[in-house]
Amino acid sequence: MVSERLLLGPGPSNPHPEVVSAMTRPMLGHLDPEFLALMDETCERLRLAFRTTNALTLPISGTGSAGMEACFVNLVEPGDTVIVGVNGVFGERMCDVASRCGASVIRVDVPWGRAIDPEALLDAQRAAPHARLVAVVHAETSTGVLSDVEPLKALQQTDTLLLVDTVTSLGGVPLEVDAWGIDACYSGSQKCLGVPPGLSPVTFGMRAVARLGARQSPVQSWYLDLGMIGAYMGAARKYHHTAPVTMVFALHAGLGVLLGEGLEASQARHAAVGGRLQEALPGLGFRLFAEEGRRLPQLTSCWLPDDLDEAALRKALLTGYGIEVGGGMGELAGKGWRIGLMGHNARDRSVVTLLGALLDILG
């Protein structure tokens, strides 16, 4: 028997009830006309969520890491230069994946807990105008920091593409793919969309699509080749791989919940409950880790009081109350937590339940 948990870690989050229901639908073939119509509608819903008109917008079969890799392997060739903003684990992963693609990586490092200065990325691009792309994490899951992406639309006046990680931001904070000049970005299903892990929404703008067509070498990954996947999504429906049908049902339903509530309403809900948690934690002796003014409402990073055993307290929450929170990474490892209030769990009852359990444990 699998235990029931309140998932307040960095992901996955508990899915919306509508998503759970959608996952019980009868199975369809991945080329069934009924499924293909639902896939098309899912892609249109993704466009609305991303705030884009990009034709190449679709769910990659895999988690957010697959979306990250899909973007890099399709846009980067050996010998390219890639500029990466690094202020946490997922910026580091971008550097790793870009290097594996054969790129020369220029790092723009910022201390953990602080946001990336977009001007520093633009300065790096001015110093290396030949760079294939600038990559940055919008919402850094390892630190709970939100970086400002909008000023990077200045890259539209250059030949350098802008790639953005929106795994933890999509649906939870404002994100404007077209208005911010984002050429390509990827997300994940298991965070603010309220869907189980297994799909990574991606979107490619016209400049990124043009880059695909101008490649001098084959895409390093057959499975993640967006040229071939795009053919399956197009009118000809050329078979590439078997789509995870049930997960697409789930994403379709999760996006329906998001769009039914409204993007602005969802963002306001996340902001309200995240703010309530962040206001309450210092009263229990916790110290917030991310810099003030750049804190994610949906993912709170914090130091524990010095006299508490991080792992023991986290275990007490899990075994005694069925509540999962995330351990810290990097500087926070063994000393802090990452608390997620995402999607269906971004509600006052989640905050009240967690704070009540902590008060009970701490006495």
Angle at 177 between CA 174 and CA 178, to 5 degrees: 125
173-201 pLDDT per residue, tens: 999 999 999 999 999 999 999 999 999 99
Q: Which two tokens stand for residue 43?
A: 């892609």
10-44 pLDDT per residue, tens: 999 999 999 999 999 999 998 899 999 999 999 99
pLDDT at 237 over 80: no
- Residue 136, phi then psi, degrees to nearest 5: -150, 150
267-325 pLDDT per residue, tens: 999 999 999 999 999 999 999 999 999 999 999 999 999 889 999 999 999 999 999 99
The H-or-E segment that residue 16 falls in is none
Please report the pLDDT score of residue 236 as a whole number.
Answer: 66
Contact 357, 325 (CB under 8 A): no
- Percent of the chain at pLDDT exceeding 90: 92
292-304 pLDDT per residue, tens: 999 999 999 999 9
Higher pLDDT, 228 or 66: 66
For the residues 128-148, what does the mean pLDDT come to? 98
In single-letter form, the type of residue at position 299 comes to L
Sign of CA dihedral 338, 151, 119, 83: positive
Name the pTM for this structure. 0.96
Domains of the chain, with CATH numbers?
6-11+262-362 (3.90.1150.10), 17-259 (3.40.640.10)
Please report the pLDDT score of residue 331 as a whole number.
Answer: 86
Give the confidence band of 235 by pLDDT, cuts at 50, 70, 90: low
